[in-house]
Amino acid sequence: MALKSTNKVETNLYEIEFDASKEVFDAAVEKVYRKEVKKINIPGFRKGKAPRSIIEKMYGKGVFYEDAVNEIIPEAYETAIKETGLTVVSRPEFDVVSIDDNGVVLKAKFYVKPEVTLKNYKGIEVTKEVKVVTDEDVNTEIDQARSRNARVVDVEGRAVENGDIAVIDYEGFADGVSFEGGKGDNYNLTIGSGSFIPGFEEQIIGHNVGDEFDINVTFPEQYHSEELAGKEAIFKIKLNGIKFNELPALDDEFAKDVSEFDTLDEYKADVKAKIESRNEKASENAVEEQIINTLIENLEAEIPAPMFENEAENFVRDYDSRLRMQGLDLTTYCKYTGQTLDDLRNQFKPMAERQVKTRLALEKVVELENIVASDEEAEAEYENLSKAYGMKAEDVKNYVEVDAVKADICVKKAVEFVKTNANVTVK
């Protein structure tokens, strides 16, 4: 099996001719014959026992040719592509040029990775916004922790206030008639939550346990039920109880309950440090986003459409995997949402285009700066992948080739190189 010719059809589109010897092709035909003969009935022979020559005489000499060609294509094509040194980025289209006493000659047409020009990837101007952590930021986070650890207690001796939980029976009437979904018993309504229609919760404020009263409201014009949209309604209310969330005291005991620290001051310092860390990470991500945007702007390349299509398909497969982790799949998801797979592909297309352009730009940086990845770095990355996938590192190596791992490492290094060489203005 060998490459015969390589022809550039147009920008990034190539066509190659490659062959397989007569011995290789004959072996493939024999293999297909032995597989298919079991299904063939020939008069005078038991099923599956007819000689190849008899079958070829009855159905034609080329009866097994198509399957035999399909049998040899993968290895023959891979061998030929290695000889070209081209990086294929699309599914090839195959044709048979000839089948004769010398073997079989095949043709494949495919797109290759484009030539890339990248301007001004050093000294990129970016702004890093550093958000200073204030006491208010720390208090807000601690208040959220207090809310998560609050306990619900009954209120006695006062009326409903904003923020309370009102326990109510209610029934709604429009034009004097009760409507579906307008009735509930012992419903816990947090006043001020905005979970009921506008004007409802405010009218409960000031009432005491045991009160029975009416609430007058008007449904929004854009209400989900067309029958009620824009209509006036009366809700008959009975207030069965009042509760509120009692926050824990802000002291050392609280700090011990929600953290590994013994004092409130230590806990506050840790909260502040964690917020600073999050802010720093967000700032770094924003810087990287600016850098990627500039790299894409400075990228010049005629990118074949299949590269975008393949990446969009990768996004679809990843989305399917995430759905399956939640007990769903794409078929069920599309049924519920009324979408098609093409709709999903179109949704992912902008992200796919960005991803492809980003990768091409960073790979160009790798090339221009002679960035390499060591065997030790590759081994470390295999360990990371094994932890992420819950597999042994040796098993991961069976699925991910070392060249692909090293390529990803080099791309990550390229990002750091461009960031290190950027002109960063800190705000």
Q: What is the DSSP string of 144-206?
A: HHHHHT-EEEE--SS---TT-EEEEEEEEEETTEEEEEEEEEEEEEETTS--SSTTTGGGGTT
**pTM, rounded to two decimals:** 0.74
Tallying the residues shown for the chain, one arrives at: 427
Decide if pLDDT at 30 tops 90: no
d(CA 416, CA 427): 21
Angle 402-420/375-389 helices, nearest 10 degrees? 100
Res 73: pLDDT: 92
Res 1: pLDDT: 64
The pLDDT tens digits of the residues spanning 311-355 come to 999 999 999 988 888 888 888 888 888 888 899 999 999 999 999
Residue 45 is given by DSSP the state: S
Res 101: pLDDT: 75
Q: From 3.10.50.40, 2.40.30.10, 3.40.50.1820, 3.40.50.720, which CATH number describes the 151-246 domain? A: 3.10.50.40
Res 384: pLDDT: 87
Asked if the 2-112 domain carries CATH number 3.30.70.1050, the reply is yes
Res 62: pLDDT: 83
Residues 6+ apart with CB under 8 A from 357: 296, 299, 301, 303
Res 263: pLDDT: 96
d(CA 68, CA 52): 14
Res 80: pLDDT: 92
Token pair for residue 292?
């990627």
Choose among 259, 252, 287: nearest CA to 274.
259
The pLDDT tens digits of the residues spanning 229-281 come to 889 999 999 999 999 999 999 999 999 999 999 999 999 999 999 999 999 99
The pLDDT tens digits of the residues spanning 101-127 come to 788 999 999 999 999 999 999 999 999
The pLDDT tens digits of the residues spanning 161-197 come to 999 999 999 999 998 899 988 899 999 999 999 889 9
Token pair for residue 319?
């989305």
Choose among 372, 393, 414: nearest CA to 288.
414
Q: What percent of the chain has pLDDT over 70?
A: 100
User: What kind and span of H or E run contains 50?
Assistant: none
Which residues does residue 216 pair with via DSSP β-bridges, in sequence order?
A: 234
Is-same-fold flag (2-112; 151-246)? Answer: no
Q: Give the end-to-end CA distance of the chain in Å, rounded to a whole number.
A: 62
**What's the chain's Rg over C-alpha atoms?**
35
Q: Where are the domains of the chain?
A: 2-112, 151-246, 264-426
Res 373: pLDDT: 93
Is residue 302 classed as helix, strand or coil in its secondary structure?
coil
Q: Which CATH class is domain 264-426?
A: mainly alpha
